[in-house]
């Protein structure tokens, strides 16, 4: 079971929903969904608080708290029971609880899409070509061979990178990549990855 934990300030901001009627609370929930989707307009928030005769700061903080709730719920892809257990900490009325759940379920896929678009996308390696160059002799020394690897790396964002490395540098790069690969299979990495996605 995955549950979202709120700090005391967030709980206080979200418990403001207890004081509101269903119509007012559902309007604030809708504003927070719009805020999450990027349709935020400070004037809209001011109009809502004026129309509902509520303090603007309280409404604003409640919208931010709800946006946090929806963001974390979407990141973790909470089930219905996990979502309900998470909002249990703010003790909403039954109607507001149903409104929050309905809004979450209705907008979850779109919120996950928005979160994935906002996440950091790093290019991947499409191809790696290499060539070994060896200088057999020169005018100054005739006994020393200097092997150098010339590498051409193509990435998924259509960039081509050329670089040159000797054997020691290439061995160091290989060791670092093996350590990173080993780390990516650890339990710690899997736990972190679960929360990042």
Buried b / exposed e along 161-192 (16+ C-beta atoms within 10 A): eeeeeeeeebeeeeeeeeeeeeeeeeeeeeee
On the question of pLDDT at 172 being above 90, the answer is yes
The mean-pLDDT minimum among 47-51, 73-77, 156-160 falls in 47-51
User: Distance (Å, rounded) from C-alpha 145 to C-alpha 133?
Assistant: 10
100: pLDDT strictly greater than 90: no
Residue located via tokens 């149903």:
98
pLDDT at 125: 86
Across 126-144, average pLDDT: 79
The percentage of residues in the chain with a pLDDT greater than 90, rounded to a whole number, is 10
Residue 197: the pLDDT is 53
Backbone angles phi, psi at 161, to 5 degrees: -120, 130
pLDDT mean over 153-159: 90
Domain boundary assignment for the chain: 8-118, 125-196
pLDDT computed for residue 176 by the predictor: 93
| Spacing of C-alpha 1 from chain mean position | 20
The DSSP secondary structure of 42-74, one letter per residue, reads HHHHHHHHHHTT--HHHHHHHHHHHHHHHHHHH
The pLDDT value recorded for residue 34 is 82
pLDDT > 70: percent of the chain: 91
For the cut 80, the answer to whether the pLDDT of residue 130 exceeds it is yes
């Amino acid at each position: 079971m995955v549950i979202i934990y709120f700090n005391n300030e967030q709980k206080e901001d979200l418990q403001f929903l207890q004081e509101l009627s269903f119509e007012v609370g559902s309007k604030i929930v809708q504003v927070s969904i719009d805020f999450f989707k990027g349709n935020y307009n400070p004037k809209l928030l001011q109009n809502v608080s004026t129309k509902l005769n509520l303090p603007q700061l309280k409404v604003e903080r409640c919208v931010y708290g709800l946006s946090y709730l929806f963001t974390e719920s979407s990141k973790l892809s909470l089930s219905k029971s996990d979502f309900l257990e998470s909002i249990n900490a703010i003790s909403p009325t039954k109607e507001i609880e149903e409104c929050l759940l309905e809004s979450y379920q209705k907008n979850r896929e779109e919120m996950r899409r928005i979160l994935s678009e906002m996440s950091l996308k790093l290019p991947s390696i499409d191809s790696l070509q290499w060539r070994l160059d060896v200088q057999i002799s020169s005018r100054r020394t005739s006994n020393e061979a200097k092997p150098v690897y010339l590498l051409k790396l193509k990435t998924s964002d259509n960039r081509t990178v050329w670089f040159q490395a000797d054997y020691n540098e290439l061995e160091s790069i290989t060791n670092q990549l093996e350590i990173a690969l080993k780390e990516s299979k650890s339990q710690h990495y899997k736990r972190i990855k679960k929360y990042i996605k």
